[in-house]
């Protein structure tokens, strides 16, 4: 009674019916198709499923089968008008910042990046903290703009002289820097930065229309003699600094210079934006206390991020300030994103107040020490002609000077061909013309791979 030719006839007659019907028309029932074509119910179902896969039929369980409503065919979008409307205002630094996020193939060893690698993430403790967090409070609800009370209190307990009411929780240090620069200077005004410095800071300031003024640093941090000149000359009211284990140079602002920087801020009524990104990344010793703890009168605006010492997925940082500046920062932050996601803030509190945090932090510092030492040892042995201006006592990076006449772009391209990703030094100079350095990140790569990476680098940088 049931036959294959019947199934073929059923299939063709349904196709013909679909072509002749409007979208949404109900098709005959399984029972009537079965009887009309003398095939089994399973065969009817199978044919309907085939036609559904082709997008010709909608099968609605319990209601029947219908001629599909096909989406209208879509012509490729012509977005060429956007090119001239958007213009060419994207600062090149923005592209460079985005370039930091390029993920290389698995066979490439990374000596470029800015976070801990997966091996060092406190995965289990963070998972457990998140589980506890979402049970503990109605964290999916609305949150205060300034952030969770508990988290603000935790940050305040960590930063000498800062009260919880002076803390705003932001989605990472990048957001805090962006809010602060936009709130504290107007487009067109000068912003002084140490040189070299974090490309993200340069990009934020430029995209806000600020005039970025570089002041060179040496082994003791920013040159305060040149800083005084730059302040006098430009009338800048904002200086951005990383006083501890600066990225990329690794240097720490000396005691004498800290005092000079604070005195200049008072004398000229300006703000210091203190990017304390490496607070929990000390290797040989703790960093000196933050500048904000020496400043009772609101000159220092302090940024402390958790994404470096904990993991890049924990997008949480503190932005601390006092006086009317705090209200400006709060307003700028509100415009950005209202507040940081509740569950993330609560998970951060759970993690930071558990024994897992000090344990993890100790482990990270030890691992960073091993990795830095492996990099220094391999550099000294295999690339003795590459200069190391300062051994970093903390942080994630080693800043090196190339032999005279060697260009960072050529080395980075040749190294990539050998399977090593290194950071060109030039993007870290606001003026951008210095091509004599590389930034080698040791924080993202286990020690044995670092040694292998330097071995490969030595092939492209032979001794002269």
Ligand X SMILES: Cc1ncc(COP(=O)(O)O)c(C=O)c1O
Residues in contact with ligand X by the rule CB under 6 A: 114, 172-174, 198, 200, 242, 247, 275, 277, 305, 307, 312, 317
- Supply 258's token pair: 């800290």
Taking the complex as a whole, the smallest distance from the CB of residue 201 to ligand X amounts, in Å, to 7
Give the nearer residue to ligand X in terms of CB position, either 28 or 312.
312
Q: Least distance to ligand X from the beta carbon of 50, Å?
A: 50
**Number of C-alpha atoms within 13 angstroms, CB side, residue 356?**
19
Report the candidate in 41, 40, 70, 39 with the shortest Cα–Cα distance to residue 54.
70
Q: Which is nearer to ligand X, 67 or 317 (CB)?
A: 317
Residue 227: phi and psi, rounded to 5, are -65, -45
Nearer to ligand X, 243 or 342 (CB): 243
Q: How many helices (H) and strands (E) does the chain have?
A: 16, 14
Between 162 and 181, name the residue whose CB sits nearer to ligand X.
181
Residue closer to ligand X, measured from CB, 265 or 278: 278
User: What H or E segment, with its residue span, contains residue 356?
Assistant: helix 356-382
Q: How far is the CB of 459 from ligand X (least distance, A)?
A: 29
* 331 dihedral zone (left: phi>0; alpha: psi -120 to 50; beta): alpha
- Least Å from the CB of residue 305 to ligand X: 3
Helix pair 447-460, 408-417: axis angle to 10 deg: 120
Give CA–CA dist 84/72, Å, rounded. 29
Tell me the C-alpha to C-alpha distance, in Å, between residue 94 and each of 89, 200, 313, 442, 462: 10, 8, 21, 24, 33
Task: Return the C-alpha torsion angle 19, 25, 31, 37, nearest 10.
Answer: -20
Q: How far is the CB of 198 from ligand X (least distance, A)?
A: 4
Residue 29 DSSP code:
P
Looking at the Cβ atoms of 65 and 426, the one nearer to ligand X is 426
All residues at 6 or more sequence positions from 207 whose CB lies less than 8 Å from its CB, including other chains: 91, 93, 94
Tell me how far, at minimum, the Cβ of 278 lies from ligand X, in Å. 8
Least distance (Å) between residue 88 CB and ligand X: 26
Q: Please say whether the beta carbons of 224 and 264 come within 8 A.
A: yes
Which of 114/342 has CB closer to ligand X? 114
Looking at the Cβ atoms of 242 and 345, the one nearer to ligand X is: 242
429 CB neighbour count, 10 Å cutoff:
20
Least distance from ligand X to the Cβ atom of residue 247, Å: 4
């Amino acid at each position: 009674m049931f036959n294959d030719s019947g199934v073929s006839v059923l299939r063709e007659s349904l196709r013909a019916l679909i072509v002749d019907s409007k979208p949404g028309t109900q098709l005959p029932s399984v029972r009537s198709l079965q009887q009309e074509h003398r095939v089994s119910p399973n065969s009817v179902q199978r044919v309907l499923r085939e036609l559904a896969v082709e997008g010709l039929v909608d099968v609605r369980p319990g209601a029947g089968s219908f001629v599909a409503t096909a989406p209208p065919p879509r012509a490729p979008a012509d977005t060429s008008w956007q090119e001239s409307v958007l213009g060419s205002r994207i600062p090149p630094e923005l592209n460079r910042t985005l370039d930091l996020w390029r993920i290389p193939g698995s066979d490439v060893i990374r000596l470029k990046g800015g976070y801990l690698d997966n091996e060092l993430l406190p995965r289990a403790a963070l998972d457990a903290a998140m589980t506890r967090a979402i049970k503990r409070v109605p964290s999916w609800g609305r949150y205060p703009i300034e952030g969770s009370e508990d988290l603000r209190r935790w940050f305040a307990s960590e930063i000498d002289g800062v009260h919880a009411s002076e803390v705003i929780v932001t989605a990472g240090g990048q957001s805090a820097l962006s809010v602060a620069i936009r709130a504290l200077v107007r487009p067109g005004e000068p912003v002084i930065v140490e040189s070299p410095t974090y490309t993200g800071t340069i990009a934020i300031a430029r995209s806000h229309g600020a005039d970025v003024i570089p002041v060179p640093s040496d082994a003791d941090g920013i040159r305060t003699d040149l800083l005084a000149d730059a302040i006098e000359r430009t009338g800048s009211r904002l200086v951005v600094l990383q006083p501890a284990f600066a990225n990329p140079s690794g240097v720490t602002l000396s005691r004498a210079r800290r005092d000079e920087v604070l005195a200049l801020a008072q004398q000229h009524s300006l703000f210091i934006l203190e990017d304390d990104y490496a607070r929990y990344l000390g290797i040989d010793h703790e960093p000196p206390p933050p500048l904000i703890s020496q400043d009772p009168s609101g000159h220092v605006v302090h940024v402390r991020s958790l994404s470096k010492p904990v993991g890049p997925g924990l997008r949480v940082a503190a932005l601390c300030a006092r006086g009317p500046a705090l209200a400006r920062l709060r307003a700028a932050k509100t415009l950005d994103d209202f507040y940081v996601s509740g569950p993330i803030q609560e998970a951060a509190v759970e993690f930071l107040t558990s024994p897992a945090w000090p344990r993890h932090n100790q482990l990270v510092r030890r691992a960073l020490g091993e990795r830095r030492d492996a990099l220094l040892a391999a550099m000294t042995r295999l690339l003795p002609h590459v200069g190391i201006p300062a051994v970093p006592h903390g942080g994630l990076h080693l800043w090196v000077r190339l032999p005279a006449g060697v260009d960072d772009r050529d080395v980075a391209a040749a190294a990539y061909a050998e399977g090593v990703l290194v950071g060109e030094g030039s993007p870290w100079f606001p003026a951008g013309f210095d091509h004599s350095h590389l930034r080698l990140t040791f924080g993202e790569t286990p020690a044995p791979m670092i040694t292998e990476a330097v071995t490969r680098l030595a092939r492209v940088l032979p001794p002269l």
